[in-house]
A = this chain, B = another copy of it.
Amino acid sequence: MDILLLAVELIGTFAFAVSGALLAARKGFDVVGSVLLASMAGLGGGVIRDVLIGYGPPLALENPVYLAPVLVAVVLVMTGLLHETRLRRTLLVFDAVGLSLFCLTGTVIAWEAGLTELACVLLGISTAVGGGAMRDVVANETPQIFNPRGVYAVPAMLGAALTVTALSLELSLVWAGPVIALLVFALRMISLRRGWRVPLAGRRFSAAEGNSGPSAD
């Protein structure tokens, strides 16, 4: 694999691993639980991608270098160097970095495996949101992807679609990649600051519409 692609993967892994370690700290897990949750957050998206592509063992299991960013993240949180109270904004920045990098690398790796364009886009999205979803599901939390404040999956969808477009046009990803990642990152951060929302999935039931109170939630 390209050394540049690997470097981008590792930065994204670190960003998501930090989010997993911070969640483990918030839930009172011990440091071993932190390693497990940070691994799922940091490596889960790539593992889901590789399993869906139909590779043999996922890259993250075969290459020891993937464990380094996970362990660094756990140590930084355990020692208090990364702390949610003070660095809440920093956490969101890291998470957005992971999102913007993984929708790129996920799409590229699916493309290199020879998948159709649609499959590349879907795998790019799955890579970007999969680790965070696994982190939240395993920790028994409602996943962040369903939080209607800010937009989360939309930037990943846009990034994956732009990456496939760039690959189809045979643009150099050395130039197109940073532009796409920056766009995804900016979209996510601006949506958080401005509190952007997309429409709800449906009307929630109101008293006027039906009196079946219990089924309303």
| Structural contact, B57 and A115, CB atoms closer than 8 A | yes
| CB–CB B140/A142 < 8 A | yes
A56 touching B56 by the CB < 8 A rule?
no
Question: In the complex, which of the residues A33, A34, A55, A204 has the most CB atoms of chain B within 10 Å of its own CB atom?
Answer: A33
In Å, the complex CA distance between A202 and B64 comes to 25
Number of copies: 3
Contact A201-B146, Cβ < 8 Å, known A51-B52, A53-B56, A86-B210: no
| A contact residues, total (Cβ < 8 Å) | 75
Nearest chain B CB to A134 CB, angstrom units:
10
Given contacts A36-B129, A140-B143, 13 further A-B contacts (CB under 8 A): A22-B202, A26-B202, A27-B146, A30-B198, A32-B198, A33-B201, A34-B202, A36-B145, A61-B119, A83-B203, A85-B209, A85-B216, A138-B143
